[in-house]
Structure 1
């Protein structure tokens, strides 16, 4: 009988540890999800503000990627029994507002938007690396994040060729 309460406490502690872990991973994934929402909205706005068809296509493709990434992240968050966040972040909204203002006053606005895209892609790679390297993730989540990060890195390489066009 004396062992039984000890087993319950151990089991309860394990459950608390698992709950904290799933909440911690879910929080990190939700942060990444918000950043994907922000990037999707930013890329859509950039596509609307450029005249160059290659840049427009690039921005539209990146927006579609971020939309797809968002759904994948939502599924991962739900697999942890957590609720995905909805909507963009306040800082993302402010950044898009600034990009919109900047595009109206900068002489070569397409170049400025492309520079912002490059900066954003580099920041995304850092965000993904932080989560991948600092968190002990389940294999399915790690695979999703690595695939998304590889996609972002590939897009970053592609965007370098568009710098000549802008």
Structure 2
């Protein structure tokens, strides 16, 4: 496998994760009543959409084809969030817990890609920027969870 294809495959994995996160946040936004949480989820969805655009641009620069949708695993997680919220009467704390779980999974994927030291500096810095924003979102979600409890 050539270098550009290898990097694009890694970026495509992250791209799928960002599609999943964006859809998950939009789904969570529909499940809560709190206007503050709705706005929070909307901002996170917008952020993930921006991450996806940046990753698509990088993949295209390497002459490869970006993924155009999320993963089956992400769809299953969103369905689980919807089902869980149905049984917990749109319990905002439970929805936040699932959002945190999804963000932690994203963080692990970013860490896995970043642990491979063969990335060009421009991609490395882009992924670190995304990773730091995801970590900040996790910290903010934990704070919101404490406030909702």
Instruction: Compute the TM-score of the two structures, normalised by the length of structure 2.
Output: 0.94
Counterpart of 2:60 in structure 1 is: 78
Counterpart of 2:72 in structure 1 is: 90
Counterpart of 1:127 in structure 2 is: 109
1:40–1:62 contact (8 Å) kept in structure 2: yes
Distance in 2 between the 1:97 and 1:88 partners?
13
Distance in 2 between the 1:108 and 1:75 partners?
37
Task: Please provide the CA RMSD for this pair.
Answer: 1.3
SS of 2:147's equivalent in the other structure is: coil
Distance in 2 between the 1:82 and 1:26 partners?
6
Counterpart of 1:149 in structure 2 is: 131
Distance in 1 between the 2:147 and 2:34 partners?
8
Ranges of 4+ aligned residues in structure 1 off by more than 4 Å? none
1:44–1:63 contact (8 Å) kept in structure 2: yes
Alignment partner of 1:103 is 2:85: yes
Counterpart of 1:40 in structure 2 is: 22
> Any gaps of 5 or more consecutive residues in structure 2?
none
Work out which of the two has the higher radius of gyration on C-alpha atoms and give 1 or 2. 1
Counterpart of 1:8 in structure 2 is: none
Distance in 1 between the 2:103 and 2:75 partners?
17
